[in-house]
Amino acid sequence: TLHTFFENKIKEIEDPFLRLNYGYAQEFVMRPGKRIRPISSLIAYDSYKGDEKSSFLQASIAPELFHASSLAHDDIMDEDFSRRNKPTLHILSKNWHQNRFGKKTRQGNLFTSESNRFGTSMAIMHGNIIYSLAFDSIYDSKLDEKVKLQSIKLLNNAYRRTNEGQMLDILLPCAKNATITQYERMALGKTAEPFAAAVCFGALAAHANKQQIDSLQRYALRVGLAFQLYDDILDLQPKKGREQGSDIKKGMKTMILLHALEKAKDADRKKLLDLLDSNNRRSSDIEGIIALFRKTGSIAFVEKKAKSLVEEAKKELRKCNVEKNCFHFFEELADYVILREQ
């Protein structure tokens, strides 16, 4: 459905440069991923509509497009060079510009090369275009007009929450007195809200009642937050193809770190702060920080919190009155969050 949707949009474009860039956006969105948002939307829809999915198929890609839009912008903010083992959109565009026009310096306030300015600018617009296509996927769908309006409001609200979460995520490393409460607010906005919106979108399109949608939202918010917490735990584990402690190296303030700062004794707290203030952290520094996390019980604290959220989520799921197979999907999804290895 995603591929067909993009192909139809690209056919409408006459300018070859714009067609090229829509192709970049298509390739970026189509890269292999979990697709958990559109799948969850479809399962939620199926929970209340049975086998009548044809009218919802095109609209179901909207959460994935909103997500991809935010990723295009995240890659710029994080200064990442790759996404799912391929160049990010700003690097793709930078390389295109260099191959076409060569390397040229620039006397600008933000950029020192023409290709960097071009690549960053293009990626911002790629993200914006993908965002607008998310609305098109709903506008052009077979959903009735009232549901279209409700769905757009729901998903746009979640996108705003995502950006608010991203703002807080950028602020947290700078804030000397950051708290666990601030971290939770960030993670809810950045990770949990868009997932919850995807689930509720499917239920809303299937005309579930308010009580069912509210319970699904509470389920999804807890699963989304647990996912982020466990992601922070996985970052500390040595895994093939994944850098250990990348969040520490980037200066990110996770719940694990914030709990450790609260619980560490004076000498350990100073050691932790000194390591975090260093601009050149070695592998041994990362190992030392992880050892302090274990000493303060911070990893165990966050793991317990994630497991508790999953159990709370499953209690909410039992109130949703979803079809049996759909119930098992959402229950297993909640368990997967804290059982996965990557």
Instruction: Give per-residue pLDDT as tens, 221-262.
Output: 999 999 999 999 999 987 745 678 888 877 788 999 999 999
**Residue 281 in this model has a pLDDT that exceeds 70:** no
Highest-confidence segment of 1-10, 52-61, 246-255: 1-10
d(CA 304, CA 183): 16
**Residue 274 in this model has a pLDDT that exceeds 90:** no
Both tokens assigned to 134: 């998310």
Instruction: Provide the 10 A C-beta neighbour count for residue 243.
Output: 12
Identity of residue 140: D
d(CA 123, CA 19): 15
Per-residue pLDDT tens over the stretch 188-206: 999 999 999 999 999 999 9
**What is the percent of the chain with per-residue pLDDT over 70, rounded to a whole number?**
96
Q: Rounded mean pLDDT of the chain?
A: 92
**pLDDT of the residue at 50:** 61
Q: What is the pTM of this model?
A: 0.92
Cβ neighbours of residue 62 closer than 8 Å, sequence gap 6 or more:
38, 41, 134, 135, 137, 138, 151, 155, 201
Selection from 254, 245, 247, 234 nearest residue 186 by Cα = 254
Choice among 24-33, 127-136, 162-171, 265-274 with the minimum mean pLDDT: 265-274
Question: Predicted confidence band at 173 (pLDDT cuts at 50, 70, 90)?
Answer: confident
Cβ neighbours of residue 186 closer than 8 Å, sequence gap 6 or more:
165, 168, 169, 172
Residue 3 buriedness (CB in 10 A; 0-12 / 13-18 / 19+): exposed
Choice among 22-26, 62-66, 134-138, 285-289 with the minimum mean pLDDT: 285-289
**pLDDT of the residue at 283:** 72
Partners of 105 in the β-ladder: 113
With contact defined as beta carbons under 8 Å apart, do 304 and 230 qualify?
Answer: no
Cβ neighbours of residue 245 closer than 8 Å, sequence gap 6 or more:
235, 236, 286, 289, 290
**Alpha-carbon radius of gyration of the chain:** 22
Annotate 301-316 with b (16+ C-beta within 10 A) or e (fewer). bbbebbbebbebbbeb
Identify the residue whose tokens are 């192909």. Answer: 7
Question: Predicted confidence band at 148 (pLDDT cuts at 50, 70, 90)?
Answer: very high
**Residue 278 in this model has a pLDDT that exceeds 90:** no
**For the residues 266-290, what does the mean pLDDT come to?**
80
d(CA 120, CA 125): 9
d(CA 333, CA 123): 32
**pLDDT of the residue at 329:** 95
**Residue 177 in this model has a pLDDT that exceeds 90:** no
**What is the percent of the chain with per-residue pLDDT over 90, rounded to a whole number?**
77
